[in-house]
Structure 1
Amino acid sequence: MNLYGFFKFLVGFILAILLLAGASAAAVLYFAAKLTRMPEKPIFQNEKPVVQKVSTSPQPTVATSNTKSANENELAPGTYRAIVVEPIGLILRDTPSRNSNRIGGISYREEVIVLEESSDKRWQKVRVDDGSDRIGWVSGGNTERLD
């Protein structure tokens, strides 16, 4: 075997190793990017908005319903409307502590009414603004004021 043949073998071997290493790195980066992407939030049947049938007969209007809706739009002093900005949603707790009982959850981009904040601003007492009047504590800094 001459020197030229040995040189060709060495260059070919090094190129093959570099090609395998590059392809392996590209495959690892591709799969890592696929696995670190957040999946779409699933929509279940019980989360879809309920469609109400529109009746053709006129419904009688009640004066108390107008005053009730006007009162619902007014907030008590010190409270404000906010929206959940945490992409995975929030856990609703019965007291402002990580060890407290979980009493529900709040979805991403759901509107809430912030009733009060803890003295250290780590917790917010909120009421879910979906007609269910669920009240509880959530971790502070995960809502954004709407007003």
Structure 2
Amino acid sequence: MRSFLLSLTKLIIGIALALVLLSLAGVATARYFMSRLADLPEKPLYENDAGLTSPEATAESASTASTATITSTAAPEADPPAEELPPNSYKALVVQPIGLVLREGPGLNYTQLGGVENNEEVIVLSTSDDQQWLQVRLPRNGQEGWVKAGNTRQIETDSEAENALN
């Protein structure tokens, strides 16, 4: 009977030791893969990306190229008039390297509407009461939303530049 209890004890200790070793190996493997996935890969660059200056420039050149063949016999068009800015608004450039999230309202709990790329121009319409959020309009599509303040830089307009020189 004593040898049976000794054998049973060895079996239980062996199974427990095996479970501990397996769980430690699983934890080590999980930590390894978590650390590998925490590093973001570099953004791939393609040959056709090097020539792009901005999405607006490529869209503009594509639209002028397609309309040039259609309107080649028509009279040349005048430059489009400058967009009228609403009162107390100004143009700004996004300076956050990763871009900004456009939201429905001034706060993190509002729904995300989309994003604004780095170096993209926006029209700042107003500021929230706590000065932490800016209401902006995207000139490319007219979409309005809120972005976190401090991530844009005001663009000097032509009239401001003339006033500074005088």
- Measured in 2, the distance between the counterparts of 1:99 and 1:109 equals 26
CA shift in 2, pair 1:38/1:138, >3 Å: farther
CA shift in 2, pair 1:101/1:38, >3 Å: same
Aligned to 1:100: 110
Aligned-partner residue type, residue 126 of structure 1: V
The answer on 1:80 being equivalent to 2:90 is yes
**Offset of residue 38 of structure 1:** 8.7
- Measured in 2, the distance between the counterparts of 1:91 and 1:85 equals 13
Aligned to 2:149: 140
| Pairing partner for 2:139 from 107, 129, 134 | 129
Aligned to 1:111: 121
Superimposed CA distance per residue, residues 30-89 of structure 1 (whole angstroms, 9 cap, x where no aligned partner): xxxxx98994476799x9533132226233578xx87xx4361x3122100000000000
- Measured in 2, the distance between the counterparts of 1:85 and 1:79 equals 18
How many residues align structurally?
A: 106
After TM superposition, the score normalised by the length of structure 1 is: 0.59
Aligned to 1:58: 73
Unaligned runs of 5+ in 1: 1-34
Secondary structure at 1:125 match in 2: strand
Secondary structure at 2:81 match in 1: helix
Unaligned runs of 5+ in 2: 1-37, 157-166
- Measured in 1, the distance between the counterparts of 2:44 and 2:96 equals 13
Tell me the percent identity.
Answer: 35
Runs of 4+ residues over 2 Å off in structure 1: 35-45, 47-50, 56-62
* RMSD, aligned α-carbons: 3.2
Secondary structure at 1:70 match in 2: coil
Structure scoring higher RCO (CA < 8 A, sep ≥ 6) equals 1
After TM superposition, the score normalised by the length of structure 2 is: 0.53
- Measured in 1, the distance between the counterparts of 2:130 and 2:44 equals 32
Structure with bigger helix share is 2
Aligned-partner residue type, residue 81 of structure 2: A
Aligned to 1:30: none
- Measured in 1, the distance between the counterparts of 2:44 and 2:95 equals 14
